[in-house]
Amino acid sequence: MKIKIFDTTLRDGEQTPGVAITSQDKFKIAEALVELGADIIEAGFPSASEGEQKTVKEISKNFPKKICGLARCTKKDIDACINADVDLIHIFIATSQIHMKYKLKMNEEQVMEKARESIQYCINHGFKVHFSLEDATRTEENFMVKICKIADEMKVHYINIPDTVGVCTPERMKNIISMLRKEISTPLAVHCHNDFGLAVANTLAGIEEGVILPHVTINGVGERAGNADLEQVVMGCKILYKNLGIETNIKTEKIYETSKLVERLYGIKISPNFPFVGDNAFAHEAGIHVHGVLAESSTYEPITPEMVGAKRRIVLGKLVGVHAVESKLKELNYNVSNEIAEVITKKIKDLGDKGKRVTEADLVAIADDILGRKREENIKLVDLRVYNDFGKKPFAFVKLNIDGKEEIAVSEGIGTVDSALNAIRKIKGYENVNLEEYHLDAISGGSDALAEVTVNLCSGKKRTIAKGIHEDIVMASVIAFINGLNNLF
Ligand code: MN
């Protein structure tokens, strides 16, 4: 059975408290979702503002046949969707007693009339309709069936059963869906919230009973505790419900990069233990698990990290062996003798005994310390100037001394750090250096605090980690970057 993925990262996800993103960023996410293989993208709530309507329209123009817009059962909201040229209009009206009484101040008859009127209005304008019974899981069952039948008879494209406040259980969801499937023939959607941590379980339960349009968001972003997470729903279907033959159009190997994009643009950090995309999802601390995973990954990993486009990570601890240290150092572009590797391993074990977790950056620091170097610096910073006239794009000028020869470059960027790092990457030979991770820590308090920047760089197959410390963030970043280049080249 093929199901379609309805992604609402850009609508429900944008309703996450504290999230407000620009039109350009919305566009970037829409593009990534299309690349990922989402079938329908709910791009926003066009009647919210003129800007929102314009953005949804722009997205619709670029990805026709994919875009859905949200509307209450009012002419104003539906007109906004029509003006935004969406392919599918998602209209909703609350059907639970609580919502009808306190929010809508309407009775059942009035709600049915409003629904009928709004569906007809969309149809008259030649639009496809996705109809939602808001707060469906707290709706009285007879009324739920009655209103679903209205939408069914009017031939809407989808009927959605939202668990608006996340109070459903998988068993109950199964009962609701199987009951509705006996009454109506319109394809069903579910929209589950995670207030009790059951959003994914409830969504999968719905799919088991024949839901073909799960609503999901990247990283589970959304109102309150969020929505059902796309990654988990898709991988759940693919791996756990394999026997049901459920297929999606999602290119799972793009999951990780899409998740990271949303994490960055929404500014909502994924917790390390988050399934599939969290930092620890495929991390193993040295010892029995590492031994197992390196011999045969399925011993301690249910799927390979490559399946979702992630990478396995080995964390060094007191149980680490000298071979793991050697291979890790090699990966970070350090070639050390077996003797030195033994010394480094002992040092890591000592730190482990003291309860310290040794990161890759720490390993590099330990190696540098033991090797007694100041590694030879072929690349030196001669001059750095950054211009930031707020309101315009900042730009940076850098002058490096590379093996005794001076090179200069200028570049713009989103911010001052970005412009400085972009400038360095404009210098011949460094164009393909990728900044895979950037991490900033303040070592002490106050605005004159020392900033410590850690960068993870790669160039082709080479990878390195480097740090830079300075009281100025841009300078700390540039130092870290150049230290990294000295490791790589
Ligand atoms: Mn919602």
Tell me the mean pLDDT in the region 446-450: 71
Given 232, 266, 300, the domain boundary residue is 266
Cα-to-centroid distance, 163 and ligand 1 (Å): 8
pLDDT of 9 strictly over 80: yes
Question: Residue 86 Cα, ligand 1 centroid: separation in angstroms?
Answer: 19
How far apart CA 408 and CA 265 sit, in angstroms, is 31
According to the model, what pLDDT value does residue 275 have? 97
Q: Among all chains, which residue has been given the structure tokens 């707060």?
A: 135
Distance 222 CA to ligand 1 centre (A): 7
Structure confidence at residue 445 (pLDDT):
63
pLDDT cut 70: percent of the chain above it? 97
Q: Which of 52-56, 368-372, 390-394 has the lowest mean pLDDT?
A: 368-372
Distance from Cα 125 to the centre of ligand 1, integer Å:
26
Tell me: the pLDDT tens digits for 154-195? 999 999 999 999 999 999 999 999 999 999 999 999 999 999
Structure confidence at residue 465 (pLDDT): 86
**Res 376 pLDDT > 80:** no
Do 258 and 287 have their domain in common? no
Query: Do strands 283-285 and 128-134 pair parallel, antiparallel, or not at all (unpaired)?
Result: unpaired
Integer angstrom CA distances of residue 34 from 24, 173, 249, 250, 261: 15, 29, 10, 9, 13
Q: What is the band of 329 on the pLDDT scale with cuts at 50, 70, 90?
A: confident
Q: Could you tell me if 68 and 208 lie in one domain?
A: yes
Within a domain: 272? no
Average pLDDT over residues 376-397: 90
Average pLDDT over all residues of the chain: 92
Q: Do residues 257 and 298 both lie within one domain?
A: no
Neighbours of ion ligand 1 (CB under 5 A): 12
pTM above 0.85, yes or no: no
Q: Quote the ligand 1 centre to 408 CA distance (angstroms).
A: 51
CA 309 to chain centre: 12
377 versus 218: the higher-pLDDT residue is 218
CA of 419 to the centre of ligand 1 (A): 38
Decide if pLDDT at 143 tops 70: yes
Residues 360, 441 within the same domain: no
Per-residue model confidence (pLDDT) at position 463: 86
In the chain, the number of structural domains is 3
Q: How far is the CA of 117 from the centre of ligand 1 (A)?
A: 23
Cα(192) to centroid(ligand 1), Å: 7
Ligand 1 mean position to 43 CA, how many Å? 14
Indicate if 399 and 295 belong to the same structural domain.
no
Counted residue by residue, the chain has a size of 489
Domain shared by 317 and 398, yes or no: no
Query: Do 311 and 258 fall into the same domain?
Result: no
Cα(477) to centroid(ligand 1), Å: 40
pLDDT value at residue 373: 61
Residue that has been written with the tokens 């009454």 in this structure = 183
One domain, residues 302 and 193: no
Helix, strand, or coil (residue 183):
helix
pLDDT (mean) for 247-276: 95
Distance 341 CA to ligand 1 centre (A): 53
273 CA distance to ligand 1 middle (Å): 24
Check residue 370 and give its pLDDT: 81
Point out the domain boundary residue: 206, 239, 266: 266
Q: For residue 273, is it within any domain?
A: no
Mean pLDDT of 205-229: 97
Please give the pLDDT value at position 325.
85
**Is 275 within a domain?**
no
Ligand 1 center from residue 155 Cα (angstroms): 24
Q: Determine the structural domain holding residue 315 and report its residue range.
A: 283-371
User: Residue 35 has what pLDDT?
Assistant: 98
Of 371, 406, 426, the position where a domain reaches its end is: 371
Residue 259 lies in a domain: yes
Instruction: Read off the pLDDT of residues 416-442 as tens digits, 9 standing for 90 and up.
Output: 999 999 999 999 899 999 998 898 877
The domain that holds 389 is classified in CATH as 3.30.160.270
User: Which of the two residues, 203 and 449, has the higher pLDDT score?
Assistant: 203
Residue 364 banded pLDDT, cuts 50, 70, 90? confident
Q: What is the DSSP string of 235-287?
A: HIIIIITGGGT-B----GGGHHHHHHHHHHHHT-PPPTTSTTTSTTTTEEETT
The answer on pLDDT for 359 being more than 90 is no
Strands 313-315 and 283-285: what pairing? parallel
- Residues 336, 409, single domain; the answer is no
Closest CA relative to residue 90, chosen from 77, 71, 65: 71
Burial class (CB in 10 A: 0-12, 13-18, 19+), 141: exposed
Query: Can you list the pairs that 266-275 forms with residues at least 24 positions away whose Cβ atoms lie under 8 Å?
Result: 266/13, 266/16, 266/19, 266/21, 266/219, 266/221, 267/18, 267/19, 268/16, 268/19, 268/219, 268/221, 270/219, 274/219, 275/229, 275/231, 275/232, 275/235
Q: How far apart are CA 344 and CA 359, in angstroms?
A: 13
Q: Is residue 60 part of a domain?
A: yes
| 25 and 56, same domain (yes or no) | yes
Compute, in angstroms, the gap from residue 181 CA to the centroid of ligand 1. 23
Domain assignment present for residue 274? The answer is no
For the cut 60, the answer to whether the pLDDT of residue 355 exceeds it is: yes
Q: Quick one: pLDDT at residue 182?
A: 98
Q: Does residue 466 sit in helix, strand or coil?
A: strand
> Distance from the CA of 44 to the center of ligand 1, in angstroms?
12
Q: Is 478 found in the same domain as 435?
A: yes
In this prediction, residues 389-393 reach a mean pLDDT of 84
Q: Are residues 44 and 122 in the same domain?
A: yes
- As beta bridge partners, residue 369 has none
**Position 248 in a domain:** yes
Residue predicted with more confidence, 147 or 16: 147
Asked if the structure places residue 470 within a domain, the reply is yes
Q: What is the CATH number of the domain that holds 184?
A: 3.20.20.70
- Going from the C-alpha of 86 to that of each of 91, 156, 249, 389, the distances in angstroms are 12, 15, 21, 39
443 has pLDDT over 70: no
| Cα 140 from Cα 35, distance rounded (Å) | 40
Angle between helices 322-331 and 360-370 (to 10 degrees): 100
